[in-house]
Structures are given as structure tokens and as C-alpha cells.
Structure 1
Amino acid sequence: MVPIWLLVACIGAQAEPVLQGKDAYGSWQADKPGVVRLIRPEDLAKPGASRSVSNSARVTARGEMTPQVPQGFKIELLVDSLSDPRVLRVAPNGDIFVAETRPGRIRVLRLGEGAKVATNEIFASGLNRPFGVAFFPNGDDPQWVYVANANSVVRFRYRVGDLKASAKAETVVASLPAGSGHSTRDIVFTPDGKRMLVSVGSASNVGEGMGSPPGGLEAWSKAQPVGASWGYEAERAAVLTFDPEGKDRKLYATGIRNCVGLAIQPQTGQPWCSTNERDGLGDDLVPDYVTSVKEGAFYGWPWFYIGNNEDPRHPGARPDLKDKVTVPDVLVQPHSASLGMTFYQGTQFPSEYQGDAFAAEHGSWNRSKRTGYKVIRIRMKDGKPTGEYEDFVTGFVVNDTQVWGRPVGIAVAKDGALLISEDTGGTIWRVTSVPK
């Protein structure tokens, strides 16, 4: 017999129609848990269809406000008063590692009875804008905690249960491209443990001032991966690959403006990116996206977007790349600022969530009607994305000018709860399903 709470959850998931095309575009007032959206490449607006607007939000105190979740779920405040909590990673024993980026440290939270924080310790400090955290090797007995700084990758000796690093950091990659914009660097290991992937965002919005490649475009292109950039953007807007010791450095994929969140899909072993696309082309361009990342693929930046759509700021610059652009799997409303992501493998949520992805939408300055500021569910069917995404956690916006929270990190706790960090209020939230 199917439990009543599961029937309620299933009915709730089907209650909302799928919003498509222009109807899929909205603003914070229309966001609510359960709204499902589908944006396809053929739905894109034309460049300049609306003007580009600077509309930064003012951060205000949360007060008594609490995020909203779908029927059949509840959300609770796990911890507050953190400083710029961003990426969340869960150790094999359930400890929650938190990258506090601005203070330059990694914090460890350990839960006690009633899923309350019983231990709160600083694991390591003195880091350079740390963001990505990964345990290596994969499995129940990792020996290292890797941390991706803005300009390097370091690692700490680790035994499961350690609350403080037992020794100084060991440098694995001494120099990642750094400076200018997009300082976040995420990090994951492939399931076989042979490769370390590191995401590096662009130094600019759309490759301004890159100039010409050395030796001319034709000669340079023959010796490079498809879509590789040059000059100060070399090895940026890309996912890099190394071995676990930081050797065998290569470009894994290119043309991804800012792959903020990296995750490995458990069913396929394929890396995925949660990506910030470019600004300045109006309210409804260019869609952010969440996508699988194919080795050797080129995703368009800065010359093209979402397939062979040419950026008007680079007319005729790279006609050789027009038919080589990989279209992302799931398009998200432009200027949502998609950050951290994870795949759900827990058993606490209803079974239809198994294998789905979740992504945190931080919100952007570049839209007249504010969007983002929520957590979305990326729907999968038999391990493949449907293209649809669902508003899952909303309620971080106060009004047209004020917000109290901006989601960043997202992880699945050992007990199957979904954990969400937001960096303006310094809080982490815990979402669970509840019987009806």
C-alpha cells in the first residue's frame, strides 16, 4: 500500500503545469515551490530585445523570515552567524565541511541528536578565497581533503572524523589562473580516482580585450583544443583536468563562462556544471544553465551562446566555431546566477527525487525584474535530464529592492536531508520530507 504522505507529494508535484517558452520566464513574485519551467534554445530572445539593467539587491536582516518549500517538506535553520558560507561537502561520517570564502577558512559542523549542530570547529584557515572541497580517494576512507583556492589547489592529510587539520597544507597545483573576475574554483574527482577536475571562470564578461592569438588565428587554432581562449583568458572559462598529484594538466572542456558548481552524476560518472552565463544583452539573455560536461566539448563563450547564436559583441570573429558549440542540457532563466549543485542519492526524500539534481540560484544584478534567489530541482528520467527544472526552495527575496539570503552551496547530508548555504545572512538550512 502506498503511504499517504507519498501520494500527497506525488500529487503536489503534478499540480503545477510546465511553464514553457515566454511563460517560463518570471520574477521573484511568481516564484514558488512546485512551479516547473522548460526553456529551450528556440525560446531565446533576440539580443537587445530589452535593455541591460543594473539592479543590485540591498541585503537586509532576515528577521523571522523562513524559506518556502513544497508541500510534504519542511525546512529548518541548521546554523547561523557564519561568515560567507559557500560550498558544502559532506564527509563519509556525516561531518559537514563548509568553505567560508572571504575569511579564508574551512569549517566543520558535526550534528548531534535531533540533527542539531553539536560541534563547530575551524578545520583550516589562512587560505586564499577557498571554494571547492573534495575528499580523496572516493569512498568511505579518504586520506586527503582537497581545497580549491582562487589561485591554487592544496590538500590536507585527513582521517575520517578529524575536526582540525593535523598538518599544514600541501600544494598540489601551485598556480591556477587568477585575478580579475570570477574567483570561484570548484573541484571533483572522477569515479575511478584517476583525474581531478577544477573549474575556472572567465576573467571578464565576454572576453573583452583578448586581442589576437599569437601567430594568428589559423595557426594558433590548429594546436589548441576547440574553443580554447588565449592571452589573459588562457585556461579560463574552462574545466581543467589533472591527476590527483596535480600533474598532467590539460583542458577538459572550454567555452563555459563560469562553471561555479561541479558535481559528478552517480549514474553515469559524468561531470556536470552549474554555470553563470554572460551579462549585458538584456533581461532575457543569456540563459544560465546546468549541464553535463563532455570531454573536449566547447560551450560557446565568448563568441557564441546556446548553440550557434553569435554574440553581437564579437561579430564574425570565429566562424570556424559556429557549428562546434555544444548546447547545454538544462537552460535556466537568464541572470539567475546558478552556483552550487549536487545530485540526490539519499532515501529521506520520496523515491521520485532519486537521481535528480539540485542547484542554488544566487540571483543577479543584471535584470529589471529580480530572479534567482532560490534552489531549483533539475528533473531526470532514467538518468537523463528532461530539460525541466522546478522551483524547490524560494522566499529569500523581501521586496523589489531587498533580499535577506542568496543560496550558494548545496549538499545531501548523511541522513538524506538537503543542506543549503546562503552567504549574505551566514546561514545553513536543512530540508526534509515529512509524512502526511
Structure 2
Amino acid sequence: MDLMAKAVQAVGAVMVALRKRHLPPQQAMGDSPSIPQAREQGIMTLKMPTARGWALGEKPKAAAGLQVNAFATELQHPRWIEVLPNGDVLVAEALQQERKPRDLMDHAMVATMRRAKATGHSANRVTLWRDSDGDGVAETREVFVENQHQPFGMALVGDTFYLGNTDGIVSFPYVPGAVRLEGAGKRLVEFKPGGHWTRSLLASPDGKRIYAGVGSLSNIGDSGMEVEKGRAAIWELDLETGNARIFAGGLRNPVGLAWEPQTGALWTVVNERDGLGDETPPDYLTSVKDGGFYGWPYCYWGQTVDDRVPQDAGLVASALQPDYALGGHTASLGLCWMPAGTLPGFGDGMVIGQHGSWNRSVLSGYKLIFVPFANGRPSGPPRDILSGFLSEDEKFSRGRPVGVAIGPDGKSLLMADDVGDVIWRVSAA
């Protein structure tokens, strides 16, 4: 790290110490969170642990009654998981591309992201992992598709495989059991790349539509709203007509997508804005209404106005309040529905991979958690499934949770760890 980055980080460390004096008494969690009043930071809090990885013999801490093992290792920044009907496990390996810093603070941020293994050279591929003997450890690895553009979300519908690159959705013909896709793929939808670059995908239960999460370019529309058109939204692609539209907007960075089976509602996890405090506003889990607007960048958690942003009173008035707060800056990314009986001691609910904060005086996230559901709604406080990714002194990370999926056997969870370069498998002890 150069002297400029070190100097800015030193200033940032002083700001972290000062902000610890105003720590909220509790995390903003649940359906009625206590959200502190915004405290505009000026100099952004910049605190990210160094990416260390897992030492020999180390692994995450599993909740009581569960165990964890490495399903696949030696990946290159694994981000997202898709389990095919035949049990093959696909893993998207991609990374934020390093860019030239824009200013002094950005210089420090880029250097910090590099140290935390959050930016660099992207593998730009999807690998296929096969556990032929069913022992919970993959024996074979194949390159399923390569030379993509920061691939992330995946979906299989019939004999067509869909891949969410940062610049759009592409489709490939798929033959059951194939270990590699053939051809260049067909571009179906174009998205603006950069900024929040991940493009999660989820097929509708009837296989007629694909939904895609597209994050904002910036924190709060910093370069104006013209460049944000088509972003901070969930898109819907009609597979029969090829028409694509924005399904819901005002979602700063919607990443994981999942269906709640009782109501049939679409749910997502969203990363909220920075620069207003450790718990303000919280990231959230919410159902998503067709045509709904969720506030970004004008307001948050309903109609709480962000006065840093030129306002639109009509959009503020229409903003929907999210369903369930997940704590400030937890970077909740991964999401899947877990039915009762998948893991002992856990009922119906959503599993969430919390990548972890970089912009709080006390770090948050760095866990795999479970939110219980009843009657189609969250029904209680979250529970840890996996923890131990962050060192006790917050100086380094052993791993960072991202994508999550139900394992091929229906009795396990798979979770991508993009610092440990591992796919972890959680099952009954």
C-alpha cells in the first residue's frame, strides 16, 4: 500500500475511534427495528479486515446439531452456486475488476479492497463440481463455461441455461449431464456494467420468466440519476416473448432472490446506502411487489428522507417499507428458501449469506444466518448457522459468506466463501 493510502487510512482509523462513542445499543434487526437517527459522516468510515483465509485444520463454527465440511476447495473467488437437477453443483467464480482511483478517499478504498481480496483479476468462469459417491465432497471439477463478463447468477429452465453476466443475460443450450456448455451464448438482455456488478438470476416456478437483480452504480446517485436508469432494480424477462421490464425499483443493491412457497411471493436481500452511521439504514430482507418502489436513493425504510439527495416527493410518498431488517452494512448477499426438515432444529425460513461490513466502527455480518418464517412472513429473530469467519480482534477474515443453495441431497446447505476460496457444506452432525 502506498503512502497516500496509508495516510487516508490513518485518518479513517481516527474516525472509527470517534464513531465508537456513538454506537447504537443494538443492531437494527427484525420487522420493527430501532434505526438510529442519521449521522452524516463526511469522511466515510473505512474499516475492512485483511483477507487471510483458513489455516490448515480451521473451518467455520457450526450451530449446535450441525457440522461443516469443505465440499470443494481451491477455487478463485467463488461467489454464487446453482445446483442442477442431476446433482451437479455449478459455481460462478468472479471478482470486482480493479479500477483507477478517482480521488484521495477512493485511493484508500481501492487499496483496502485489494487487501481484503475484494478486487483484482476476475476468473470469469463457471465451474462444475460433481460428488459421484454422495459423501459430501466433490471428486471432479470441470470448466462449465469460461471467458464471461463477471458471471454471477445462473438458472436452468428446460434445456436452456441462463447466465447473468454483469453486462446482461446470456443463454446456452444444455444437455442433461453435460460438463461443459458449447457455443458463445445468445445475448437476451443488456445491463449497464460496473458499480454494484452482480447479476443474480431466479426462474419463476412455472419456468416462463427469469428475474434478475441489478444494483446501482453508486451510493446515492452520486453521478446523477441519468446513469442510474435501469439500475437499482429487479428485472423480469419473459422467456416466450423476449421482452424485459423493470419489475420493482428503488432497491439499491438487490442480490439474492428466492421464492416463498406458501404465498408464491418473490423475496430479495438488499444492501442499503453508506455514510449515515453504523446501523443507519439497515440492510434488509423483503418481499417484492410488482411495480413496487423501495426508496433508493431518496429515502430509506419507508419514507425516511435522505437529505443528501435531491428529492422527488412523489417517489418518496410511494416508497414501500421493507419487511425485515438485517442490521446495518451486513452486506447480506446470498439467499435461499430452506424448507423444514433440511437441517435438524430448523423449520421453514430463509438462509442468508452475510458477506460482512467494511464501513462500520464495529464490524457486522460475516455469518451464515437463518430467518424463520410462518404463514409466509418472517416470524422471529435470526439464528446463526455458520460463524467464525472474522477474527475476534476484527483484523483479518478467514472467509466471507456469499451465495447459498440447498445441497443435491436436500439435507444440506452449500455456501460459497470468496475469501477462503471454498464451498462449505453444512449438514446434520
TM-score of the superposition, structure 2-length normalised?
0.83
Relative to structure 1, the CA distance from residue 199 to residue 61 in structure 2 (aligned partners, 3 Å threshold; closer, same or farther) is: closer
- CA–CA distance in structure 1, aligned partners of residues 407 and 123 of structure 2: 24
Q: Could you tell me which amino acid in structure 1 is paired with residue 370 of structure 2?
A: R
Say whether residues 1:100 and 2:116 are aligned partners.
no
Could you tell me how far apart the structure 2 residues matched to 1:115 and 1:263 are?
24
2:174 counterpart letter in structure 1: Y
Question: CA shift at 1:144, angstroms?
Answer: 1.3
Larger mean CA deviation between 288-297 and 382-391 belongs to 382-391
Say yes or no: does 1:116 pair with 2:137: yes
- Residue 48 of structure 1 corresponds to 39
Residue 180 of structure 2, aligned match among 145, 160, 164 = 164
Instruction: Give the aligned partner of residue 335 of structure 1.
Output: 329
Counterpart in the other structure of 2:361 = 368
Alpha-carbon separation, structure 2, partners of 1:42 and 1:198:
28
Please give the per-residue CA displacement for 1:276-313, whole angstroms capped at 9, x wherever unaligned: 11101111111001111111111110000001100121
Q: d(CA) in 1 for partners of 2:269 and 2:309?
A: 24
Contact 2:32 2:324 in 1 (8 A): no
Q: Corresponding residue for 1:391?
A: 384
Deviation at 1:41, TM superposition (A): 4.7
The reply to whether residue 178 of structure 1 matches residue 193 of structure 2 is yes
- Equivalent pairs, count: 375
- Relative distance call for 1:42 and 1:272 in structure 2 (3 A) is closer
What secondary structure does 1:279 align onto?
coil
2:118 corresponds to which residue? none
Cα distance in 2, alignment partners of residues 95 and 360 from structure 1: 21
Cα-to-partner distance string for 1:118-153 (whole Å, 9 max, x where unaligned): 2211111010000000111xxxxx201110000011
User: By how many angstroms is 1:354 displaced?
Assistant: 4.1
What is the Cα deviation at residue 246 of structure 1? 7.1
Per the alignment, residue 207 of structure 1 pairs with 221
Q: Is the 8 A contact 1:346 1:417 kept in 2?
A: no
Q: Distance in 2 between matches of 1:322 and 1:168?
A: 43
Q: Deviations over 1:326-371 (max 9, x none)?
A: 1111101101001011011374423x63431101000121001111
The partner residue of 2:212 within 189, 192, 198 is 198
Pick closer, same or farther for the CA change 1:376–1:267 going to 2, 3 Å.
same
CA distance in 1, matches of 2:417, 2:317: 39
Contact 1:50 1:284 in 2 (8 A): no
Taking every aligned residue pair, what percent have the same amino acid on both sides? Answer: 35
Q: Is the 8 A contact 2:262 2:375 kept in 1?
A: no
RMSD over equivalenced CA pairs, Å: 2.0
SS in 2 for 1:322: helix
2:72 alignment partner in structure 1: 79
**1:292 & 1:84 partners in 2: Cα distance?**
29
Once the two structures are superposed, what CA deviation does each residue of 1:361-411 show, in whole Å capped at 9, x if it has no partner?
A: 001210011111111101101222126322221000123211111111100
Q: How far apart, in 2, do the equivalents of 1:159 and 1:42 lie? A: 47
- Say whether 1:59 aligns with 2:54: no
* SS at 1:231 equivalent: coil
Is the CA contact (8 Å cut-off) linking 1:199 and 1:239 kept in structure 2? yes
SS at match of 1:353: coil
Structure 1 residue 412 and structure 2 residue 406: aligned?
yes
Separation in 1 of the partners of 2:302 and 2:155?
32
SS in 2 for 1:321: helix
Q: Deviations over 1:30-82 (max 9, x none)?
A: xxxxxxx8445551100118784110211113103211111111111112110
Q: Where does the alignment leave 5 or more consecutive residues of structure 1 unmatched?
A: 1-20, 26-36, 137-141, 211-229
User: How far is the alpha carbon of 1:209 from its aligned partner?
Assistant: 3.0
Equivalence map 1:139-154=2 (5 Å): 142-154=158-170
Q: CA deviation at 1:236?
A: 0.4
Q: Is the 8 A contact 2:208 2:240 kept in 1?
A: no
Greater alpha carbon shift after TM alignment, 264-273 vs 236-245:
264-273
Change (3 A) 1:50 1:379: farther
Matches of 1:365 and 1:92, distance apart in 2 = 37
- Shift in CA distance, 161/177, structure 1 to aligned 2, threshold 3 Å: same
How far off is 1:83 after superposition?
Answer: 0.4
Tell me the SS of whatever aligns to 2:317.
helix
Contact 1:331 1:387 in 2 (8 A): no
Amino acid of the structure 1 residue aligned with 2:290 = E
For 1:46 and 1:422, locate their aligned partners in 2 and report how far apart those are by CA, in whole Å.
Answer: 33
Change (3 A) 1:50 1:307: same
Of 211, 215, 233 in structure 2, the residue corresponding to residue 238 of structure 1 is 233
The answer (yes or no) to whether the contact 2:171–2:185 under 8 Å persists in 1 is yes
Amino acid at match of 1:182: H
Q: For residues 379 and 49 of structure 1, do their structure 2 counterparts lie closer, same or farther at Cα, with a shift above 3 Å needed?
A: farther
Contact residue 41 and residue 306 of structure 1 kept, 8 A: no
State how far apart, in whole Å, the 1-side matches of 2:244 and 2:188 are: 12
After alignment, is 378-387 or 195-204 more displaced? 378-387
Query: Is the 1:349–1:417 contact (alpha carbons within 8 Å) kept by the matching residues of 2?
Result: yes
Consecutive unaligned residues of structure 2, counting only runs of 5 or more, are: 1-22, 95-121
Match of 2:203 in 1: 189
- After TM superposition, give the deviation of residue 23 of structure 1 in Å: 5.3
2:101 is matched with none
Q: 1:49 to 1:383 in 2, by over 3 A?
A: same
CA gap 1:182/1:387 in 2 versus in 1, 3 angstroms: farther
TM-superposed deviation, 1:199? 1.0
1:68/1:393 contact within 8 Å kept: yes
User: 3-state DSSP class of the match of 1:320?
Assistant: helix
CA distance in 2, matches of 1:346, 1:76: 22
Query: Equivalent residue for 1:125?
Result: 146
TM-score (norm 1): 0.82
